[in-house]
Amino acid sequence: MEKDAALLTHPRYDWARRHSYVALDVPDGRAALAWVRRLGPGVTGYKVGMELFYAEGPRFLTRLVSLGKRVFLDLKLHDIPTTVARALKVLAPLGVEMVNVHASAGRKALAAACEAVAVLPDRPLLIAVTVLTSLDAAACTELGWSAPEETAVRLARMAAETGCDGVVASAHDVPRLTGHMPAGFEFVVPGIRPPGVARDDQARAATPGEAVSLGATRLVLGRAVTRAADPVAALLAIWDEMTAAHTSRTAAQEGSSSKGSFEPDTG
């Protein structure tokens, strides 16, 4: 028997709930709303990508938002600065929580994107995609890029310098990025695969626990949930892993900061 979606509303999952998005990678609004109903009120974050957005358009985003859902609009804009800015002027007021642009569109496109969203009083977070999690070292070489982790650092720096609120990156790149970024910078990590789950086209995947331990601030959960035999059970297991990793990370950070404050000043 499948697990009851009511289990997803338990307060122990509050952090995981607020820091994850289930990817609605489906062909139409009907299929998307079927997922929203099936997962119930415990799941508050959804990612809408190209497939669903191209099928349903902006109105579907408004619908999700009116249902009380947080929406990550994952269209990965990649164009000249003017076009990116004009697209964002249309998308940013739709009430989504996050929207993204490819950092490889260049510094001027990132700056134009930031400027376009900045004018809104209740603006979405603007996130820059660094190196897609589907790209391995060989794919980066073929594109004329340096290794994925080096490219990710370069692109993430550019994103922070231009005023973006965070990046999409592989979990494995996050530790190299954290030191370079302003406080509160978001590390949004897709390519999540619990142990034993097929990687599919994800070249640089990580488990939910690894991703949070490595510094991810938000996780994108796709096929690991939607293709599971029991999606609610799969999501509960992922949220358990996220919660455990977050608890130990917070404890370690608190331990190191309180240790620091009691240490005698030897300088």
Ligand X SMILES: O=c1ccn([C@@H]2O[C@H](COP(=O)(O)O)[C@@H](O)[C@H]2O)c(=O)[nH]1
Look up tokens 């307060």; give the residue.
11
> Has 77 been labeled as part of a binding site?
yes
- Which of 28, 69, 79, 89 is catalytic? The answer is 79
Q: Within 10 A of 235 (CB to CB), how many other CB atoms are there?
A: 27
Q: Single out the residue of 32, 49, 155, 27 nearest to residue 99, CA to CA.
A: 49
> Has 223 been labeled as part of a binding site?
yes
Q: Which two tokens stand for residue 242?
A: 């996220």
Choice between 103 and 122, CB closer to ligand X:
103
Which residues in this chain contact ligand X in the complex, by CB under 6 A?
23, 25, 49, 74, 129, 132-133, 168, 190-192, 200, 202, 220, 222-224
Is residue 230 annotated as a catalytic residue, yes or no? no
Q: What minimum distance in Å lies between the beta carbon of 49 and ligand X? A: 5
Q: Within 10 A of 1 (CB to CB), how many other CB atoms are there?
A: 4
**Three-class DSSP category at 134:** coil
> Has 52 been labeled as part of a binding site?
no
> Has 259 been labeled as part of a binding site?
no
Is residue 173 annotated as a catalytic residue, yes or no? no
Q: Single out the residue of 129, 119, 34, 54 nearest to residue 85, CA to CA.
A: 119
Question: Whats the size of the chain, residue-wise?
Answer: 267
> Has 255 been labeled as part of a binding site?
no
CB 218 within 8 A of CB 21: yes
Look up tokens 């003017």; give the residue.
82
Q: What minimum distance in Å lies between the beta carbon of 259 and ligand X? A: 36
Q: Which two tokens stand for residue 32?
A: 């998307």
Choice between 202 and 213, CB closer to ligand X:
202
Instruction: Give the whole-angstrom CA distance, residue 199 versus residue 208.
Output: 13
> Has 75 been labeled as part of a binding site?
yes
CB 133 within 8 A of CB 202: yes
Choice between 168 and 234, CB closer to ligand X:
168
Choice between 209 and 222, CB closer to ligand X:
222
Output the residue with the shortest Cβ distance to ligand X.
222
CB 103 within 8 A of CB 128: yes
Is residue 165 annotated as a catalytic residue, yes or no? no
Q: What minimum distance in Å lies between the beta carbon of 136 and ligand X? A: 12
Binding residues for substrate: 25, 47, 74-83, 133, 193, 202, 222-223
Q: Which residues are catalytic?
A: 74, 76, 79
